[in-house]
């Protein structure tokens, strides 16, 4: 290698052949260069090298002929097998070529004497440095021209570091020296950016645009910061908002950190060119290019934060109007975004912000307590009912009852015992606020959560079973926390909590409070399910009920009830049930008789009255009223028929009235048919069917208390609707019922008329018997005052009454059958068909029409 170097030195510096010292010096120098680090950068690949050589050739010789020739030569060279480092050789040639060949010319200029050979200037030969000089010198750019022009005018462009400092201020929302925020004059008090007119400096337009961009971040920062500060100072800010503020604050701290870093970068940049010397500035610029901070760099640094600030500002804007869950909802609205950056940011934010929400949710879901001091949860408590316990007497309850039904006129001590209804408590103590429900929970789950907490709360306070709830709560605490990122787990825990709570509530109702027993009792007594009891009651009570209402006394009624219970199968019912059964009189007005005002009552207390609320009890009473009437008519007809059928054969021997009696029997049979169908319909078609539905539901034990209430209500409504034959047409609901009641009155009147006739016949036959006796010479006639009522003169009147009522009855029933045929309810329509089985009423009508 040294040989080669020697020959190289000899060939390039011929004088070295003579001067051995020079030769040695040169060789040493060459070795030094070779062992230095020049050009150890990287092996360029041959294509790239060829490209740069071609470019170089084009520069020196624009015609392109030499490039073509080079391509030829290169391909030939590559074909050669000899050299192993072709590209290195090419690189060598290229480097040599790209250095100026001005060296010989330089010798003619003594001013540019080469540096002493002992101190080589490696810098001069580095390819980096050689590049710019090799390029042809171009004209000045327009920007440079402008800059020079401004400089001549005495208003040079502002040095970047000055404006940079101002921009950093702007980023913190502070006005700088050259650029300031100012409140604009329009109504919204928006900030706008003002560039101070400084006679010494001029801020060029591109720079202004850049600063405007950067200042947006500062402006947003101001808004967010103001929001956080404002909330900090205020009392009564919701917990969700507090945590939002906290998150914003941490974000802002991040932001401060960035600003601090940027600021330190800026101070690292030189301050030397305060004087504004152009050449110094130019040198600085080259150095700044590598290290310092420029406006454009700042823009890149801030870019990320611009987005973040925008998001935060949007949240802040939304937070002004929204509150609690609605706020979470609002933020959640931004989480569904295609941009992963926004999504990530929002998710983070949501995770933080929803923490208090989930804390409240946990408490609600597992212990049924609503801890929500700022009413942010989607469950709201009714302040009036919040502290209401079951056993407290409440005026509200009384007022409601009095206005609702108006029963309980006689006894004051009864009504005062009423308390706030369980149903009212259950339904109104907590309210579901849909607008506060976070969207990620979903409404069905929201409802479940609502119901779960409500159930727990109810079990705890209304059913006095707080031990169980407490145990449950402790158990649930081990199950981990709820949080936003684990929605699936959340849904699972909601589901289980819901199931457990509902199950428990069901158990409490059916096992502890024996709801089923009460429902059965209601069915047996109020709906006259126990036939023997009803008959017994009717029998013992009947005579006293025919008297005017004001002659009835409650103690008599209760005593009768007691004896009816004892003498019927009902005595086997649990005493707890019988204890609740009571006989009462409704509020009566003048002229009413016992039948109109008598009622049975079944007393329920907490917490059963959640299901059997006062309205439900009203419906039961209504049903009882109707069924009792039906029962009465049935009883009346039965006894009447017995009398007629029995008596006619034995002692009513008035032959001329035989035909009338026959007619009466016909009508009565029709009546009995009618009432039997009605009774069968009520009990078999309506009450038992509805009961079956209800008991199916109860056996399944699905759903929560709401479902139970709902089902019971449906059961009751169905019965009311069908038993009372209510039609859905508005304003005419009770048309049919009134007709049926009319029919009942007719039957009663008819019965009265037949009784009169019966009595007449009795008197008449007695008179005839006496006549016959007298003919035989036995005097048996006892003249009494009452017998005079049934004289021969009154007979036509009685007969006409009988006929009139009979015809009226038939007419009414015909009307009812007709109306039932077009009744929207299928069961009612079937009742019509049963009443007019074999088209009895239809043919009758046709006969009438023909006649």
Partner 1 sequence: MSTREADRITAAEETLNTLFDISQLLNTGLDKETLATCVGLIESGVNPEALAAVVQELRRENAAAKAAHATNGR
Q: What is the closest distance, in whole angstroms, from the C-beta atom of residue 39 to partner 1 in the complex?
A: 2
The whole-angstrom separation of Cα 788 and Cα 804 is 24
- Number of residues that make up the chain: 851
Select 94 or 472, whichever has its Cβ closest to partner 1. 94
Shortest distance, position 67 Cβ to partner 1, whole Å: 9
Contacts of 292 (CB under 8 A, 6+ apart): 265, 266, 268, 269, 270
**Other residues' Cβ atoms within 10 Å of the Cβ of residue 678:** 24
For partner 1, give the closer residue by CB, 110 or 338. 110
At residue 393, the 3 state secondary structure works out as strand
Nearer of residues 45 and 144 to partner 1, judged by Cβ: 45
CB nearer partner 1, residue 112 or residue 272: 112
- Closer to partner 1 by CB, 49 or 565: give it: 49
**Shortest distance in whole angstroms from residue 93 CB to partner 1:** 5
Residue among 121 and 481 whose Cβ is closer to partner 1: 121
For partner 1, the closer of residues 53 and 586 by Cβ is 53
Q: Which residue has the tokens 């609740």?
A: 580
Say if CB 630 and CB 678 are below 8 A apart.
yes
Please tell me the distance from the alpha carbon of residue 170 to that of residue 179, in angstroms, as a whole number.
8
- Please identify, using beta-carbon distances, which residue of 53 and 401 lies nearer to partner 1: 53
CA distance 39 to 437: 69
- In the complex, least distance from residue 290 CB atom to partner 1, rounded to whole angstroms: 23
Q: What single-letter DSSP state applies at residue 702? A: -
Which helix (DSSP H) or strand (DSSP E) does residue 432 occupy?
strand 430-432
The single-letter DSSP state of residue 787 is: G
Residue 786 CA: distances (Å) to CA of 101, 790, 797, 851 = 161, 8, 17, 42
Q: How far is the CB of 132 from partner 1 (least distance, A)?
A: 18
Element (H, E) at 582: strand 581-585
Instruction: Tell me whether strands 379-381 and 191-195 are parallel, antiparallel or unpaired.
Output: unpaired
Task: Work out how close the CB of 123 gets to partner 1 at its nearest, in angstroms, rounded to a whole number.
Answer: 11
What does the alpha-carbon distance between residue 779 and residue 765 come to, in Å, rounded to a whole number?
A: 15
Q: 849, exposed or middle or buried, with CB in 10 Å at 0-12, 13-18, 19+?
A: exposed
Query: What is the distance of C-alpha 148 from the center of its chain?
Result: 67
Which residue's CB is nearer to partner 1, number 127 or number 409? 127
How far is 653 from 255, CA to CA, in rounded Å? Answer: 117
39: its two tokens:
């050009």
Q: Rounded to whole angstroms, how far apart are CA atoms 565 and 546?
A: 21
Residue with the two structure tokens 């649990």: 574
Given the complex with partner 1, which of 30 and 500 has the nearer CB atom?
Answer: 30
Answer yes or no: are the C-beta atoms of 226 and 201 closer than 8 Å. no
> 104: cis peptide before it, omega within 30°?
no
In whole angstroms, how close is the CB of 272 to partner 1 at the nearest point?
Answer: 34
User: Which residues make up the interface to partner 1 (CB under 8 A)?
Assistant: 1, 4-5, 7-9, 11-15, 22, 26, 29-30, 33-34, 36, 38-41, 53, 56-57, 60, 66, 69-70, 73-74, 76-77, 80-85, 88-97, 99, 101, 103-104, 106-107, 114, 117, 120, 122, 125, 127
Q: Which is nearer to partner 1, 87 or 636 (CB)?
A: 87
Whole-number minimum distance, CB 135 to partner 1, in Å? 17
Residue 48 beta carbon to partner 1: minimum distance, rounded to whole angstroms: 14
Indicate if the alpha-carbon torsion angle 547, 548, 553, 554 is positive or negative. Answer: positive
Query: Minimum distance from CB of 29 to partner 1 (Å)?
Result: 7
Closest distance of CB 66 from partner 1, Å: 6
């Amino acid at each position: 290698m040294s040989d080669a170097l020697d020959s190289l030195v000899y060939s390039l510096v011929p004088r070295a052949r003579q001067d051995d010292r020079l030769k040695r010096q040169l060789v040493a120098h060459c070795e030094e260069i070779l062992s230095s680090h020049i050009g150890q950068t990287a092996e360029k690949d041959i294509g790239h090298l060829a490209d740069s050589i071609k470019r170089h050739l084009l520069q020196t010789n624009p015609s392109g002929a030499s490039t073509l020739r080079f391509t030829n030569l290169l391909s030939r060279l590559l074909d050669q097998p000899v050299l192993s480092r072709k590209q290195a050789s090419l690189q060598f040639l290229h480097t040599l070529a790209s250095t100026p060949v001005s060296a010989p010319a330089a010798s003619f200029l003594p001013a540019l004497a080469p540096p002493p050979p002992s101190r080589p200037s490696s810098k001069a030969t580095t390819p980096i440095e050689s590049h710019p000089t090799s390029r042809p010198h171009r004209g000045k750019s327009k920007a440079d021209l402008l800059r020079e022009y401004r400089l001549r005018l005495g208003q040079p462009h502002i040095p970047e570091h000055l404006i940079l400092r101002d921009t950093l201020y702007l980023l913190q929302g502070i006005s700088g020296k050259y650029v300031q925020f100012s409140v604009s004059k329009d109504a919204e008090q928006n900030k706008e950016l003002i560039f101070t007119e400084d006679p010494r400096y001029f801020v060029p337009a591109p720079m202004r645009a850049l600063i405007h961009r950067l200042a947006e971040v500062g402006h947003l920062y101001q808004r967010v910061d103001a929001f956080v500060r404002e909330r900090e100072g205020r009392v009564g800010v919701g917990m969700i908002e507090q945590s939002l503020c906290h998150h914003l604050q941490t974000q802002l701290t991040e932001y401060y950190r960035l600003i601090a870093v940027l600021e330190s970068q800026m101070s690292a940049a030189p301050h030397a060119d305060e004087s504004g010397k152009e050449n110094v500035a130019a040198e600085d610029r080259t150095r700044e290019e590598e290290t310092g901070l420029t406006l454009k760099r700042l823009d890149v640094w801030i870019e990320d934060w611009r987005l973040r600030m925008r998001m935060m500002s949007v949240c802040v804007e939304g937070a002004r109007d929204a509150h609690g869950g609605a706020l979470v909802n609002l933020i959640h609205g931004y989480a569904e975004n295609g941009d992963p950056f926004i999504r990530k940011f929002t998710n983070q934010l949501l995770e933080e912000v929803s923490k208090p929400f989930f804390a409240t949710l946990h408490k609600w879901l597992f212990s049924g307590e609503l801890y929500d001091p700022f009413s942010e949860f989607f469950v709201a408590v009714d302040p009036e009912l919040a502290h209401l316990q079951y056993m407290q007497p409440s005026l509200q309850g009384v007022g409601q009852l009095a206005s609702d039904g108006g029963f309980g006129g006689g006894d004051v001590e009864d009504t005062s015992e009423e308390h706030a209804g369980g149903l009212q408590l259950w339904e109104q103590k907590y309210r579901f606020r849909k607008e506060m429900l976070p969207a990620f929970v979903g409404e069905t789950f929201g409802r479940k959560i609502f119901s779960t907490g409500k159930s727990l709360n109810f079990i705890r306070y209304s059913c006095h079973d707080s031990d169980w709830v407490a145990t449950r709560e402790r158990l649930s605490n081990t199950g981990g926390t709820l949080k936003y990122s684990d929605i699936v787990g959340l849904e699972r825990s909601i589901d289980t909590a819901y199931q457990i709570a509902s199950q428990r509530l069901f158990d409490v109702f059916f096992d502890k409070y024996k709801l089923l027993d009460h429902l059965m009792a209601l069915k047996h007594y109020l709906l006259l399910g126990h036939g023997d009891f009803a008959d017994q009651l009717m029998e013992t009570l009947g005579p006293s009920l025919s008297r005017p209402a004001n002659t009835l006394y409650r103690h008599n009624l209760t005593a009768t009830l007691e004896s009816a219970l004892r003498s019927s199968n009902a005595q086997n019912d649990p005493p707890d049930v019988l204890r609740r059964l009571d006989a009462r009189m409704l509020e009566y007005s003048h002229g009413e008789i016992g039948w109109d005002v008598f009622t049975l009552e079944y007393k329920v207390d907490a917490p059963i009255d959640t299901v059997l609320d006062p309205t439900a009890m009203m419906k039961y009473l209504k049903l009882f009223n109707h069924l009792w009437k039906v029962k009465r008519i049935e009883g009346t007809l039965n006894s009447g028929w017995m009398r007629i059928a029995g008596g006619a054969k034995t002692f009513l021997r008035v032959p001329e009235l035989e035909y009338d009696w026959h007619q009466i029997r016909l009508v009565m049979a029709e009546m009995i048919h009618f009432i039997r169908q009605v009774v069968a319909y009520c009990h078999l078609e309506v009450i038992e069917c509805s009961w079956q539905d209800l008991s199916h539901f109860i056996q399944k034990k699905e759903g929560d208390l709401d479902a139970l209430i709902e089902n019971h209500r449906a059961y009751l409504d169905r019965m009311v609707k069908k038993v009372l034959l209510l039609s859905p047409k508005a304003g005419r609901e009770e048309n049919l019922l009134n007709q049926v009641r009319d029919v009942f009155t007719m039957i009663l009147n008819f019965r009265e008329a037949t009784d009169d006739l019966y009595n007449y016949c009795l008197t008449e036959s007695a008179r005839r018997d006496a006549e016959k006796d007298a003919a035989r010479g036995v005097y048996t006639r006892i003249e009494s005052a009452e017998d005079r009522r049934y004289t021969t003169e009154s007979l036509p009147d009685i007969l006409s009454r009988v006929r009139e009522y009979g015809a009226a009855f038939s007419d009414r029933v015909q009307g009812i059958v007709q109306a039932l045929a077009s009744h929207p309810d299928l069961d009612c329509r079937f009742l019509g068909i049963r009443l007019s089985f074999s088209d009895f009423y239809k043919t009758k009508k046709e006969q009438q029409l023909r006649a």
